[in-house]
């Protein structure tokens, strides 16, 4: 959406949209995180014990130290890509052992560079691109027995883009219906969510475990 940014929180297993909103295009993902988390907490009425079983998977745009600490202070689990490329490069220098994840990248463990107030695992990934090493790092409160399991779990977050954004753009014409004002565009997005979730409920109740699934 030109000049605007759509933010969305999704429950992939149920194909549902839990929350959507539209922000001015100059708002970054990191500034959208808190309103998203608060809205989901309210809509699902998440109690402290439930938040301890809730995991937020975040890409690099939302994985700042301040936002991760904010989530952990509220009892959530996280598995997130770190916000800083410079830190990722510095952490890569601390890795004593690299293990291949796939033919193009390698993984290594390092101590956490920040006190998040809770135990975390930190993983660094290096990838060879155009004869140069590119680095990224990942933080998780979940215990993993291997670096591969850690990265596999993080990569599951890509389902929202495939399951919802692309499907809504092609099937519900989300990217084609645009309004001039911000509030009107928000209304269009919420109507899209209603249609999306009605279809998701139909799939869950009528199509699951059938030959039409």
Give the pLDDT band of residue 184 (cuts 50, 70, 90): confident
What is the overall mean pLDDT for the chain? 86
Q: At how many degrees (to 10) do helices 29-44 and 65-73 cross?
A: 10
Grouping H, G, I as helix, E, B as strand and the rest as coil, residue 209 is coil
Give mean pLDDT, residues 190-212: 85
What's 4-206's CATH class?
Answer: alpha beta
| Phi, psi for 22 (deg, rounded to 5) | -120, 135
Q: How far is CA 116 from CA 66, 87, 139, 161, 198, in A?
A: 9, 16, 10, 29, 39
> Among 176, 174, 92, which Cα is nearest to 138's?
92
Grouping H, G, I as helix, E, B as strand and the rest as coil, residue 6 is strand
* Span 58-114, pLDDT tens digits: 888 888 999 999 999 999 999 999 988 899 999 999 999 999 999 989 999 999 999
pTM of the model: 0.79
pLDDT of residue 1: 36
């Amino acid at each position: 959406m030109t000049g605007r940014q759509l933010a969305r929180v999704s429950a992939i297993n149920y194909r549902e949209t839990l929350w959507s909103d539209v922000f001015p295009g100059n708002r970054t993902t990191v500034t959208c995180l808190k309103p998203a988390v608060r809205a989901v907490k309210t809509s699902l009425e998440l109690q402290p014990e439930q938040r301890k079983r809730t995991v937020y998977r975040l890409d690099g745009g939302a994985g700042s130290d301040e936002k991760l600490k904010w989530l952990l202070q509220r009892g959530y689990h996280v598995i997130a890509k770190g916000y800083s490329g410079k830190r990722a490069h510095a952490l890569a220098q601390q890795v004593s052992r690299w293990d291949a994840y796939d033919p193009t990248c390698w993984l290594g463990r390092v101590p956490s560079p920040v006190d998040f107030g809770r135990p975390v695992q930190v993983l660094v990934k290096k990838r060879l691109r155009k004869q140069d090493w590119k680095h990224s790092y990942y933080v998780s409160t979940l215990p993993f027995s291997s670096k591969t399991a850690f990265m596999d779990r993080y990569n599951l977050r890509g389902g929202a883009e495939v399951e919802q954004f692309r499907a809504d753009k092609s099937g519900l014409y989300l990217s084609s219906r645009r309004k001039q004002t911000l509030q009107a565009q928000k209304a269009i997005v919420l109507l899209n969510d209603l249609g999306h979730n009605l279809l998701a409920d139909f799939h869950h109740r009528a199509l699951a475990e059938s030959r039409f699934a």
